[in-house]
Structure 1
Amino acid sequence: MAAGRGTPAGSCAVTVRVICLHGPESTGKSTLATALAAQLNAPLVEEYGRLWCEEHGAHTRMVDLVEIAAEHHRRISAARSAAEAAGQGWLILDTDPVMTAVWAQMLYDAQDPAFANLQSPADLYLVPDIDLPWVADGLRYLGEADTRRRFLDLSIAELDRCALPYALVQGSGPARTAAAMRAIQARFSA
C-alpha cells in the first residue's frame, strides 16, 4: 500500500479535480455546469438548494439553509467517492455548501456556525458574472440590479475569506463555456 490513500502499490490513483459553480441566481450556473460536465466527461452534482426549494418553496429559514448545506455536502462526498472509485478525473458541482453560506449571509446577514463543518472545498470555483439578464422562474427572487451586484460581491468575498481559488466567467452561450474551459486549463495546466 505504498501508492497513497489505500491504493495498492503499482496501481495508479486518479486525482479527482473538483470544479464548483458559485454565485448569484440567474447567472447560468446550471447551464454551464451541464456543459462542463459534458465537455469533461464528468459526473455532475446538481444544486440541492434548488431541489429543496422546488419541494418546500423558495423562502428559507436559517435552519433550512443548514439542512440544505448538510444534504449537499453528503451528496458531494458520495459523488467524490464514486468518481475516485471509477477513476474519473473530474467532478462538477452546481454550487456547494460554501454557496449556501453566502445565501445565509445575503438573506440574514449572518452565517450559522454549522456551515464551517460542512466544507469540502472544490479545487476551482467558477463564478459566472451577472452579465446575463435575470430571468424569473418562480423560485428566483433577487433580480434587482443592485441586489445582484451585492450577491456577486458577497459570493466573491466568501471565496476570498476562505482563500479558495476562483475565476470570474463572462460571456454568453458557447463563449461563456469557452471562458470557463480556459479558466480550468489555466488552473490545472501548471
Structure 2
Amino acid sequence: MDRYKEIKKIAVVGPESTGKSTISAELALHYNTVWVPEYSREYCSKLTEPCSWQDEINMFKGQIDLENQLIPQANGILICDTTFITVKIWSEYMFGKAPEEVLSELSKRPYDFYLLMDIDLPWQEDPLRDFPHLREHFMNIWHKELQMLHANYQVISGLASLRKENAIIAINNYLTYFDTIS
C-alpha cells in the first residue's frame, strides 16, 4: 500500500481564536508525530497591505505544499493545523467567491477526520485576527462546509487541558472505529 494512503490526516479547524495551533502541537506531541502549521499565519505576517485575491491563492498553494513536505515525516497520523478550506471560507467572506483552484481540490484532497474547535474559549487578541464578533457566524459556516463534504468530524469543546483530552478521545474513537471497519 502507498505510504501516503496509510497516513491518517487529522484536520484541526474552526473559527479564529479557538486554539487550533495549540491543540495541533499538543496532539502531535501526544501521538509522536508531526503537525502542519497554518501556512497563512506566516504568510499574512509579512503582508503590508490587506489580503488580496492572489494572496488567497498563494496561501492555498502554500498550505498544500507544506502538507506535502511534512507527510513523509508523519508517524501514522498527520495533524493539520487548519486546511485550505479556510481559504474557501475567507475568500467567500471577503470577495464573495472562492478561487476555482480551491473548489476543484476540495473533493480530491480529503482529510480522514476533522476536529472542529468550538468557540467556547475566550477571544485572544492577535494582529492576524479580525472578527471577534463573528465567531458564531464562522462556526456555523464550518459546520456547513464539513457537512457539504460529508466529512467525518467532531466538535471539540472545553477549557485548558479538557480541550486536549476531548480531542484525544475523539481521535482515539475515530482510530478505533476505523480499525474495526478495515
Q: How many residues in Structure 1 have an aligned counterpart in Structure 2?
A: 175
Q: In the alignment, which residue of structure 1 is the partner of 2:40?
A: 49
Q: In the alignment, which residue of structure 2 is the partner of 1:35?
A: 26
Q: Distance between the aligned counterparts of 2:169 and 2:124, measured in 1?
A: 26
2:159 maps to which of 150, 157, 172: 172
Runs (4 or more) in structure 1 with deviation over 2 Å come to 105-109, 116-119
Residues 28 and 79 in structure 2, CA contact (< 8 A), matched pair in contact too: yes
Could you tell me which runs of 5 or more consecutive residues in structure 1 were left unpaired when the two chains were aligned.
8-12
Q: In the alignment, which residue of structure 1 is the partner of 2:10?
A: 19
Residues 1-190 of structure 1: pairs in structure 2 closer than 5 A: 4-5=1-2, 15-57=6-48, 59-83=50-74, 88-119=75-106, 120-144=109-133, 147-190=134-177
Q: Distance between the aligned counterparts of 2:63 and 2:92, measured in 1?
A: 18
What TM-score do you get using the length of structure 2 for normalisation?
A: 0.89
Residues 73 and 118 in structure 1, CA contact (< 8 A), matched pair in contact too: no
Residues 14 and 89 in structure 1, CA contact (< 8 A), matched pair in contact too: no
Q: CA deviation at 1:58?
A: 7.6
Supply the RMSD in Å over aligned alpha carbons. Answer: 1.9
Code of the aligned partner of 1:169: I
1:167–1:73 CA distance, 2 compared to 1 (3 A): same
Q: Distance between the aligned counterparts of 2:157 and 2:69, measured in 1?
A: 31
Code of the aligned partner of 1:185: N
Q: CA deviation at 1:66?
A: 1.4
What TM-score do you get using the length of structure 1 for normalisation?
A: 0.85
Code of the aligned partner of 2:82: T
